[in-house]
Amino acid sequence: MLCNECGKNDATVHVTHIVNGKKTENHLCEECAKKNQSLFNSSFSMENLFSAMLNNAFSGATYLPTKGCSKCGMTYEQFRNIGKFGCSDCIETFKPKLMPVIKNIQGYDAHQGKIPKRAGGDYKVQKEIEKLRKELKLMIDQEEYEKAAQLRDQIRDMESNI
């Protein structure tokens, strides 16, 4: 496909804009794309989207002001306005307020992920074994040796089937 702008070079940059249901596409070569940076300037950003979801999730709710992040000093209100964290410690600092929002948005508060089809059933079994090992350690720590023995046997059976 040739560049829409110069008509000479192969188009390597493809930009699609959808505004009010109207779709426009631009296919540009690298040189023309550099010249037409205005095509890429957009008010949309993931930070704006996340900030809007946070504001929407908490609209009408009142929260007492909390101290900011101990590492960067960012407050939760600043995070809500900006839509991105100041540092990696912000996640732990604001976790109590974020978890209900995350659970509301995606339906659960733990990462579920997807398993590639090519990984097959072995991957699922390995994840289950990891979970059982954690449970086994907990049973041993709680001195629940009968349950621990059952879990150990279950893990061995699962490992032999892989």
* Mean pLDDT of all residues in 66-77: 84
Chain mean pLDDT for the chain: 79
Residue 104 neighbours by CB distance under 10 Å? 12
CA distance 120 to 131: 18
Are 86 and 72 within 8 A, CB to CB? yes
> Which pLDDT does position 50 carry in this prediction?
64
Q: Mean pLDDT highest for which of 31-40, 78-87, 152-161?
A: 152-161
> Which pLDDT does position 153 carry in this prediction?
95
Are 51 and 68 within 8 A, CB to CB? no
* Mean pLDDT of all residues in 18-23: 82
Cβ-proximal residues to 51 (8 Å cutoff; 6+ apart), any chain = 80, 81, 82, 83
Whether the predicted pLDDT of 159 surpasses 70 = yes
- Given pLDDT bands bounded at 50, 70 and 90, which one contains residue 92? confident
Packed helices 120-141 and 145-161: angle between N→C axes, nearest 10 degrees: 160
CA distance 107 to 127: 21
Whether the predicted pLDDT of 109 surpasses 60 = yes
Select from 25, 27, 35 the least CA-distant residue to 10. 27
Burial class (CB in 10 A: 0-12, 13-18, 19+), 93: buried
